[in-house]
Amino acid sequence: MAFSKSTRINYINIGLMAISCIAAFIMPFEVFLFAYAVLGPLHYLTEISWLHDRKYFTRGKYNNVVLWIIGGLIILKNIANHFGLYLPYFSDFESKIIFVALTISLLMVFVQNPYIKIGGLFFILLVSNLIFKPDHRDGLAFLIVALLPTLIHVFIFTGFFMLYGALKERSKSGLLSVAIFIVCPILLFVLFRNEIFVPVTKYAQDTFTSDGGGFFRMIRRFLHELFGVQFTQMKDAAGNLSFSRNGSPVWDFNDSVNIVFHSQAGILFMRFIAFAYTYHYLNWFSKTEIIRWHEVPKTRFMAVIILWIVSLVLYAYNYSLGYTWLYFLSLCHVLLEFPLNVVSISGIGKELISISKNGFKLTRAVATEK
């Protein structure tokens, strides 16, 4: 029985999910580090190139410039913090600016008039200042700053992208792949809960915690905020609980290491993260024949390959150096994808309405609209 191109790719994706799931069971920390360093940079470069050729799915030639600028502002703020320049008024800056990027993407997708977009941008800036307050931490800020660029991007938005494609093509195999995509994290949490197949390596621990421990702090925060895992908070000489300048608790490092790398909660959650990131990248590369991201000018394609090789060398030499080198590109590819996320979500709604009216079968009228 001959399968169509899209059906064949859907079954390939199911296989890639299985591979990602098994790998996440066995060595979650190491699999995440490998995927992030090897597959991640090539994903950023090729997706930005693909988005550029499609005008970032926006109505307007220079809409993407706003998202690039937002990415640059976040980087400048992080650089200032790194060198000890902490401004309390800007403690909520990332929450505000990522919220602006997400909401302005709605205007970029649905509005053509540039004056309405400019007015909308100022209105969104005003709203963001009302919602987010300096040194005030809440669930919305955590959602915007911590979850949106990470787990929502690699898992939720990937699921929306897959579902939109399956509904648009009226593909049963596509819907099957979406269902398995949802089941995989459940299996990662419920199967082999007390089994550690390969203990976390010293290299992985050192990489997660080195030079500020960006990944380490991310996992610790997720465990604390999402699952209520309690970490030991440091105390000062007077016996009072310690807080950093931005108001966040100062956790005991050794206690945090033990929980993140060796507790059941830490390992189970890391399995999910390893699966989500690994499959997010593999899903993109598996759809080369459909989205045709590789059909770019030869000069640009060579530049992508060269930058990817440079990134691999930097990661191999020093993982933290590679992470720093690619942080701007990693962040911007998340921001630049917001309009596509809007298109996917709105597209799901349109397809569901069409299915409710015409049934699941792809009619000639619907096919012509595609």
Give the residue among 287, 326, 337, 332 at the shortest CA–CA distance from 41.
Answer: 326
- Burial (CB < 10 A; 0-12, 13-18, 19+), residue 24, is buried
| CB atoms near residue 153 (< 10 Å) | 20
- Burial (CB < 10 A; 0-12, 13-18, 19+), residue 174, is buried
3-state secondary structure 56-71: HHCCCCCHHHHHHHHH
Band of residue 333 on the pLDDT scale cut at 50, 70, 90: very high
Q: What is the pLDDT of residues 165-213, one digit of tens each?
A: 999 999 999 999 999 999 999 999 999 998 889 999 999 999 998 865 5
| CB atoms near residue 37 (< 10 Å) | 19
Q: Using the predicted structure, report yes or no on whether residue 76 has a pLDDT greater than 60.
A: yes
d(CA 248, CA 230): 14
Domain ranges of the chain: 5-226+246-369
Q: Which two tokens stand for residue 121?
A: 């941008």
The whole-angstrom distance between residue 203's C-alpha and the CA centroid of its chain comes to 24
- Mean pLDDT taken over the chain: 87
| CB atoms near residue 355 (< 10 Å) | 15
Q: What is the pLDDT of residues 261-286, one digit of tens each?
A: 999 999 999 999 999 999 999 999 98
Band of residue 140 on the pLDDT scale cut at 50, 70, 90: confident
For residue 288, what pLDDT is reported?
79
Phi, psi of 37 (to 5 degrees): -85, -35
* Exposure b/e, 183-199, CB count within 10 A at least 16 = b: ebbeebeeeeeeeeeee
Name the percent of the chain lying above pLDDT 70: 88
- Give strand pairing partners of 233: 251
Band of residue 91 on the pLDDT scale cut at 50, 70, 90: low
Q: Of the ranges 34-38, 56-60, 225-229, 314-318, which is most confident? A: 34-38
d(CA 294, CA 307): 15
For residue 295, what pLDDT is reported?
76
